[in-house]
Amino acid sequence: MAAMIVGGDVWPPGRRLALATRQGRDIDNTQREEWPAFRLRAGAELLGRDFPEAELRSLSASYNCFGLAFATRRTCIEPEQLAMILHDDGYRQVADERDVRAGDLALYRRRDGQVEHVAIVLRVDPDVGAARFRFVVLSKWGANGEYVHELRHLPLTSGLEVSVEFYSERRMP
Amino acid sequence: VTLREALNNVESGAFAVRMNAASDLATFQRRSAREPAVLTLASCVLDRRAALTVLHAALQLTGERGDFRFEHPHDTALAVYVLVLAGAHPELARVLAEHALSVPRLWWAQRIARTILLGEMWGTDEKAKHFVLGLPIAGPGIDHSSIGVRAQRIVTGLFRPEPRTQSLELTAEPDRRSSSANRREPHLPGERHGSACHHYEVPSVPP
């Protein structure tokens, strides 16, 4: 009995877009192949059961959360690119939650220091009773849909505890 | 949970949805280590027969290309299969990783495959080019000690844009000592009764 596998390869896989930071440095990225509609819808149905409060905005597999935040939904960006993008695009950390505004970014950082997810802040509502702020954000859940959700109501997948940091590129000349 | 149940679970749509909530490879790998089906597989493949069953299942999945407009329908399962094999049988993982590089429209599986093969190239280069392994493919009447895997990777062009070719040959000699050798059931796709040869054709893809 024998099995023979013969072939060439695709190297590297995926389509890369010309993308750069504000200072002109290349942002490595790969456009992911799209998923068929039935698969996207099935995923949305499953996630809708686990996160019923989340509002589905759009369904596409071709970009990830970093691509949503930094490439206007065109492609996937790896978190390794994040430090360069934040630096070159003039982002700074917003230390006080009271200073967070719509349009700022929420970075979900694991205990090992790696950023696992990013979301765009849509709304900041004061929760007077709880003496804190309630953040409504927009983010892309991997290859699944793009959702409007509460800051911590999302399927983070590493299983590690994450802390949320806010960043802004706002300029007030 | 049996091996078969774990395989079915890993190949399910619900599993793909959970795993594909990950935005990057590190998160995907961490997530996989929390999935019960993956843990079952990782445990099962410590047994070489089970590892070969996983390899066989993976090779079958690579043949199901799906709609050319979309991502490979079994990308997630293939990625997990490479991962679990890498944990117990790096040589089998390498076989699957090399094949995965020739399968179009894979996302996670090709990333993991590249990670394995590039790590290998930076490590023991010569061993990576030619190696002889201990076995694959389960089947009644097969003496597993007689099965060999021979794989050759032509690394020229790995870092260059031109297409490269690679070949993988899985060989197994029926156990002559076993009385059931002649009653072996076919186990590979495309297997012909009375034939000992199986071919997986993977079209060359221009860079």
Give pLDDT tens digits for B11-20: 999 999 999 9
Q: Region of B135 please: left (phi>0), alpha (psi -120 to 50) or beta.
A: left
Which residues 93-112 of chain A have a CB within 8 Å of chain B?
Answer: none
Least confident of B21-30, B46-55, B140-149: B140-149
Beta strand B166-172 pairing with A2-7 = antiparallel
In chain B, whose CA is at the least distance from the CA of A6?
A: B167
Q: Do residues A64 and B74 make contact, with C-beta atoms less than 8 angstroms apart? A: no
Interface test with A, best of B24, B80, B171 (most A CBs within 10 A): B24
> Mapped to the 3 state alphabet, what secondary structure does chain B carry?
CCHHHHHHHHCCHHHHHHHCCCCCHHHHHHHHCCCHHHHHHHHHCCCHHHHHHHHHHHHHHHCCCCCCCCCCCCHHHHHHHHHHHHHHCHHHHHHHHHHHCCCCCCCHHHHHHHHHHHHHHHCCHHHHHEEEECCCCCCCCCCHHHEEEEEEECCCCCCCCCCCCEEEEEEECCCCCCCCHHHCCCCCCCCCCCCCEEEEECCCCCC
pLDDT confidence tier of residue A153, bands split at 50, 70 and 90: very high
Structure token pair of residue B47: 């047994």
Instruction: Give the model's pLDDT for residue B30.
Output: 83
Is A1 in contact with B142 (Cβ distance < 8 A)?
yes
Bridge partners of residue A31, in order along the sequence: A15
Contacts of B171 in chain A (CB under 8 A): 1-2
Is B23 in contact with A61 (Cβ distance < 8 A)?
no
The DSSP result for A139-160, as a single string, is EE-TTS-EEEEETT-S---S-S
The arithmetic mean of pLDDT across residues B48-70, rounded, is: 93
Structure token pair of residue A111: 């205990």
In angstroms, the separation between the Cα of residue A31 and the nearest Cα of chain B is: 10
Residue B8 phi, psi (nearest 5): -60, -40
Chain A CB within 8 Å of residue B183 CB: no
Instruction: Give the model's pLDDT for residue B117.
Output: 84
Is A46 in contact with B14 (Cβ distance < 8 A)?
yes
In angstroms, the separation between the Cα of residue A55 and the nearest Cα of chain B is: 16
CA distance B164 to B204: 9
For the segment A120-151, what is each residue's pLDDT rounded down to a tens digit? 999 999 988 888 999 999 999 999 999 999 99
Of A9, A35, A65, the CB nearest to B164: A9
For the segment A60-97, what is each residue's pLDDT rounded down to a tens digit? 999 999 999 999 999 999 999 999 999 999 999 999 99
- DSSP symbol at A59: -
For the segment A31-41, what is each residue's pLDDT rounded down to a tens digit? 999 999 999 99
CA distances from B184 to A106, B3, B54, B188 (A): 59, 22, 20, 12
Residues 6+ apart with CB under 8 A from A34: A60, A61, A62, B69, B70, B71
